Amino acid sequence: MTLSDTKPWWQGSFGYQIYIRSFADSNNDGYGDFQGIRSKIPYLKDLGIDFLWITPFYPSPMADWGYDVAEYCDIDSTFGNLDDFDALVGQAHESGIKIVADLVPNHTSDQHKWFKEARKGPENEFRDYYIWKDPAPDGGPPNNWVAYFGGPAWTFDETSGQYYMHLFLPEQPDLNWRNPKILEEFDQILRFWLERGVDGFRIDVAGGLMKDEQFRSNPEITPWDPEGDRWEQFESFEHRYDIFQEDNHEIFRRWRSIFDEHGAYLHGETYILEPSGLAELLPGDGLHGGFWFEPMHIEWDPDEIRRSVVEVSDLVGESILWAAGSHDMPRSPTRFGNDDTGRFRTLALNTLFSFLPGVPVIYQGEELGLIDGDVPEEHKLDPVALNDKQFGGRDGCRTPMPWSSSSNEGGHLIINGFSEVQPWLISKQRDASETAEAQIGKPDSWHSYYKELLHTRRSLPDLTGLEVTWLDSGQGPILWYERGPVGVVINTSSESELVKLSLDSEIVYKTPQVEMTEIGEEIVISGVGAFVYLRD
């Protein structure tokens, strides 16, 4: 029996995040849907994708665009129905692609039947499904916890005279995970989807489920300014009691047994920016893996890049999910320059990720080199846009996927190949060069660079279990590691750099800025270049 026969399916795989509302609209109603995803399975297979992580598709009033779930075992009609979902799973599996769903267990919508019942009063059987507390002596919130989106994490309920807790919007009340009935409810929810063929779940807010039993106030680091942006408000406190409680692991250990029955991938949105903190969230017998978010917060600086990859890779290894971007942050090419420089930097970073231990995931459109879409102020829809001075909200990274150039056919405007009607999120039209239609099959396109990277990764020897050896000096613009017979070099500088390789090394992938000298041992890497080599 070979290693590939025994290792979990996700080790060695490459993931692709789909923001379902904006990926592909099959029925021209302005919203992405399951049939749209099905139509792009050949595109994703050709690109070299192994699994799709799809953002929430459950019934929802869309206060936070699906992350406020009103029913966990059904499909929002915006995206199709259960038959459409089953058809997607079947077609993806036939193409060798796994499906990973997004589970939102920290909170529900305030329109969920559980919360509607809970609001009827303290004696209701569903009251303890959520977190309710009496006011503080001054009549204010029970403690000083703040929400991720800004403001207190408590909303007063006039009917009962109590506060309910929410780490996010008031429309997203937090579930009480100390209630055994919640554990039982979610056992059933997980089994419902796993038995339909789902290959895994990404757990939203994986560090937030359990709260301190005594609901103690968090230590204050700087004075809290309720008028500050959401990042400033949240970072005013040391989050000792509201998130990352040790007994979160009890939930994931319970779930692990369910997932292992199905050979499914249990991983989380593990939003912590310290390598040791991520390691603590992944003790080995709970979550199989967790997303690492530090690379989404760095400047393009070699020391910051090293800080974001070296220590965490050593501590967490195969349990990391690497990502340069997502639906919650400005696109990586935007952060790194908002131009071709930013695109090349993102490509280099993804090249660095692709051969480290762990699972790389790219966000839809990253393979096209997309920068953030331009959403006019009057059309912004993100509920936190007005309270996010740092990034201005998340609309820019969520604009519809540009499949083809805008055109008029039969009197209808085809909007970047996404929909014949005005899409749910209005943005300025993309340039034709940014579309999939313009890039597929073109040798010098971003799509081709990413396709070649993914196919190179698949063609090389299995690296699972092999350690990483860093060959750079630990300073300067060159980052260089080897893992078994495979080596990866990136130049973070805007200036050319020289790297000497042994004669037994074969370059198997390179970005356009890499040039070989006549000698063959010396590689000149122009600014922000990357290459991968294989030793005999």
Residues 448 and 480 occupy one common structural domain: no
Integer Cα distance of 233 and 227 in angstroms: 8
Contact of 289 with 312, CB cutoff 8 Å: no
Residue 409 pLDDT more than 60?
no
Report angle CA 347, 351, 356 to the nearest 5 degrees. Answer: 150
Integer Cα distance of 163 and 161 in angstroms: 7
From 134, 261, 274, 467, active-site residue: 261
Residue 413, in any domain of the structure: no
Question: Residues 6 or more apart from 403 whose CB is under 8 A from it?
Answer: 24, 416, 417, 418, 435, 436, 437
- Look up 482 and say whether it is catalytic: no
Residue 263 to residues 87, 196, 286, 507: CA-CA distances in angstroms? Answer: 21, 13, 14, 36
Residues 481 and 389 occupy one common structural domain: no
* CATH number of domain containing 494: 2.60.40.1180
Q: Which of 455, 479, 501 delimits the end of a domain?
A: 455
Report angle CA 133, 219, 150 to the nearest 5 degrees. Answer: 65
E strand or H helix that includes residue 253: helix 248-262
End-to-end CA distance of the chain: 25
Contact of 471 with 481, CB cutoff 8 Å: yes
Integer Cα distance of 360 and 487 in angstroms: 17
| Residue 199: predicted pLDDT | 98
Residue 33 pLDDT more than 50?
yes
Task: Report CA dihedral (356, 359, 364, 366) to the nearest 10 degrees.
Answer: 0
Task: For 393-454, give the secondary structure using H, E and C.
Answer: CCHHHHCCCCCCCCEEECCEEEECCCECCCCCCCCCCCCHHHCHHHHCCCCCCHHHHHHHHH
Residue 410 pLDDT more than 70?
no
Mean pLDDT of the chain: 94
Integer Cα distance of 108 and 67 in angstroms: 8
Lowest-confidence segment of 341-355, 396-410, 501-515 by average pLDDT: 396-410
Residue 516 pLDDT more than 90?
no
Q: How confident is the model at residue 5 (pLDDT cuts 50, 70, 90)?
A: low
Question: Residues 6 or more apart from 206 whose CB is under 8 A from it?
Answer: 248, 252, 268, 269, 270, 281, 287, 290
Give the E-state strand segments of 64-104 in sequence order: 98-103
Residues 486 and 395 occupy one common structural domain: no
Q: How far is CA 482 from the centre of its chain?
A: 27
Residue 163, in any domain of the structure: no
pLDDT tens readout for residues 129-183: 999 999 999 999 999 999 999 999 999 999 999 999 999 999 999 999 999 999 9
Residues 385 and 500 occupy one common structural domain: no
Q: Beta partners for 189?
A: none
Residues 55 and 92 occupy one common structural domain: yes
Own/partner pairs for 157-163, CB < 8 Å, 24+ apart?
157/119, 157/132, 159/119, 159/120, 159/121, 160/119, 160/121, 160/122, 160/132, 161/134, 161/135, 162/122, 162/132, 162/133, 162/134, 162/135, 163/132, 163/133, 163/134, 163/135
Percent of the chain's residues with pLDDT above 90? 88
Residue 518 pLDDT more than 70?
no
The total of structural domains in the chain comes to 2
Residue 512, in any domain of the structure: yes
Residue 228, in any domain of the structure: yes
Nearest to residue 11, comparing CAs of 468, 363, 533, 360?
360
| Residue 412: predicted pLDDT | 47
| Residue 429: predicted pLDDT | 87
Residues 450 and 479 occupy one common structural domain: no
Residue 262, in any domain of the structure: yes
Residue 111 pLDDT more than 50?
yes
| Residue 3: predicted pLDDT | 44
Residue 417, in any domain of the structure: no
Task: Report CA dihedral (212, 216, 217, 219) to the nearest 10 degrees.
Answer: -80
| Residue 67: predicted pLDDT | 98
Integer Cα distance of 57 and 200 in angstroms: 15
> Can you give the pTM of this predicted structure?
0.96
Concatenate the DSSP letters of all residues of 446-488 into one string.
Answer: HHHHHHHHHHHHHHSPP-TTPPEEE-S-SSSSEEEEEETTEEE
Burial 26-62 (b: 16+ CB within 10 A, else e): beeebbbbbbbbbbbbeebeebbbbbbbbbbbbbbeb
Q: Which of 422, 455, 488 delimits the end of a domain?
A: 455
Residues 450 and 510 occupy one common structural domain: no
pLDDT tens readout for residues 270-322: 999 999 999 999 998 999 999 999 999 999 999 999 999 999 999 999 999 99
Report angle CA 197, 202, 204 to the nearest 5 degrees. Answer: 135
Q: Which of 455, 481, 496 delimits the end of a domain?
A: 455
Concatenate the DSSP letters of all residues of 118-177 into one string.
Answer: HTT-TTSTTGGGB-EEPPPTTSS-SS--B-TTSSBSEEEETTTTEEEE-SS-TTSPBB-T
Residue 28, in any domain of the structure: yes
Residue 521 pLDDT more than 80?
no
* CATH number of domain containing 43: 3.20.20.80
| Residue 515: predicted pLDDT | 84
Residues 355-383, mean pLDDT to the nearest whole number: 96
- Look up 229 and say whether it is catalytic: no
Residue 509 pLDDT more than 90?
yes
Residues 487 and 391 occupy one common structural domain: no
Residues 17 and 38 occupy one common structural domain: yes
- 3-class SS of residue 100: strand
Contact of 399 with 371, CB cutoff 8 Å: no
pLDDT tens readout for residues 238-248: 999 999 999 99
Contact of 8 with 288, CB cutoff 8 Å: yes
| Residue 413: predicted pLDDT | 52
Integer Cα distance of 492 and 489 in angstroms: 10
From 204, 367, 382, 497, active-site residue: 204
Q: Give the number of C-alpha atoms closer than 13 A to the C-alpha of residue 76, restricted to the C-beta side.
A: 21
Residue 324 pLDDT more than 50?
yes
| Residue 1: predicted pLDDT | 35
Structure tokens at 282: 């992944």
| Residue 4: predicted pLDDT | 47
Residue 412, in any domain of the structure: no
Q: How confident is the model at residue 514 (pLDDT cuts 50, 70, 90)?
A: confident
| Residue 519: predicted pLDDT | 66
Structure tokens at 296: 């989404």
Residue 78 pLDDT more than 50?
yes
Task: Report CA dihedral (244, 102, 399, 457) to the nearest 10 degrees.
Answer: 90
Place of tokens 């790297």: 499
Range of the domain at 471: 466-535
Query: For the chain, how big is the Rg over CA atoms in Å?
Result: 24
Percent of the chain's residues with pLDDT above 70? 96
| Residue 391: predicted pLDDT | 74
Contact of 532 with 507, CB cutoff 8 Å: yes
Residues 446 and 472 occupy one common structural domain: no
Residues 478 and 357 occupy one common structural domain: no
Residues 446 and 514 occupy one common structural domain: no
Sign of CA dihedral 346, 351, 357, 363: positive
275 phi and psi, to 5 degrees? -55, -40
Helix 340-354 to helix 302-316 angle, to the nearest 10 degrees? 20
